[in-house]
Amino acid sequence: MLLRKLEAYGFKSFAEKTEMEFKSGITAIVGPNGSGKSNISDAVRWVLGEQNIRNLRGNKMEDVIFSGSAKRRPLGVAEVSLVFDNTDGLLPLEFSEVTITRRVFRSGDGEYYINKAPCRLKDIHDLLLEAGLSRESMTVISQNKIDEVLNSKPEERRLLFEEAAGIVKYKNRKKEALRKLEDTEQNLTRVLDITAEIE
Ligand code: ATP
């Protein structure tokens, strides 16, 4: 699966609508310090569902919205879309191209879209997990992540291997199934109590 295009508007330093096309193979982004290279990987990570603003080098979610410059007023919304080539069908959708969009307003409201259809963040997580891409995955490795991996405890490092091996999605599903089981058990207890009272 290839990331074909990134479109950003109002995200961090991208005050104007910006489009970046990627070809197969390696793409290197070069530019002076502070020109916005890392903002591109932040944008990718954000659309992939990153919820921890610290991982996007900010303090509050609003920090991803263009905050203005000497010549431009701040914007009220940030929007980024990632266009994936899905001809290999890695994403379980019957489309040869899949566009995932995330939008956030200064009010804090967020919107998510898959191929322009509104969806929940969970839908995006589930879709990406199928393809081995997720918030926690090694899809985007930031500068400080390497040090973090080297300094991590064996148990923490194991989690990284589990993610890379695709085990995490099953662990998440197990957690969800156990939670539903617990809810059902509680409902059952309540129903039994009510039945006992009626009898
Ligand atoms: P380096 O080579 O030093 O790592 P870089 O090219 O990766 O730099 P970034 O860290 O991506 O640069 O971009 C930093 C720039 O983005 C700064 O000029 C900063 O002011 C700008 N920036 C970050 N957030 C916002 C925002 N919300 N609104 C406007 N500009 C922003």
| Residue-level pLDDT, tens digit, the chain, 199 residues | 899 999 999 999 999 999 999 999 999 999 999 999 999 999 999 999 888 888 888 899 899 999 999 999 999 999 999 999 999 998 999 999 999 999 999 999 999 999 999 999 999 988 988 887 766 666 777 777 788 888 889 998 888 788 777 787 788 899 999 999 999 999 999 999 999 999 8
Of 124, 140, 46, the closest CA to residue 91 belongs to 124
Pocket of ligand 1 contains residue 16 by CB under 6 Å? no
Task: Give the residue numbers of the binding site for ATP.
Answer: 32-39
Strand order in the sheet with 117-119: 18-21, 2-9, 77-85, 97-105, 110-114, 117-119
Cβ neighbours of residue 125 under 8 Å, at least 6 residues apart?
A: 49, 134, 135
Burial class (CB in 10 A: 0-12, 13-18, 19+), 147: exposed
Q: Which residue bears the tokens 């009010």?
A: 107
Q: What DSSP string describes 80-95?
A: EEEEEE-TT--SSSS-
- The verdict on the CB of residue 135 being under 6 Å from ligand 1 is no
Protein residue with its CA nearest to atom 30 in ligand 1: 13
d(CA 117, CA 199): 50
For 67, the token pair is: 């905050």
pTM reported for the whole predicted model: 0.79
The per-residue pLDDT for 55 is 83
Token digits for 118?
Answer: 């509104």
Task: Please name the amino acid found at residue 96.
Answer: S
ipTM, interface predicted TM-score of the complex: 0.95
Give the atom of ligand 1 at the shortest distance from the alpha carbon of 67.
28
Backbone angles phi, psi at 85, to 5 degrees: -80, 120
pLDDT of residue 136: 62
Q: Is 35 in the pocket of ligand 1 (CB under 6 A)?
A: yes
Closest atom of ligand 1 to 78 CA is: 27
Confidence (pLDDT) at 183: 97
For 1-134, CATH gives: 3.40.50.300
Asked whether 142 lines ligand 1 (CB < 6 A), one says no
Residue 30 Cβ contacting ligand 1 at under 6 Å: no
**4 Cα: distance to centroid of ligand 1 (angstroms):** 23
pLDDT of residue 96: 95
The DSSP 8-state label assigned to residue 109 in this structure reads: -
Assign residue 157 a region (left: φ > 0; alpha: ψ between -120 and 50; beta: otherwise). Answer: alpha
Q: What is the pLDDT of residue 161?
A: 82
Residue 93: predicted pLDDT:
92
Q: Which of 36, 56, 59 is nearest to 47 (CA)?
A: 56
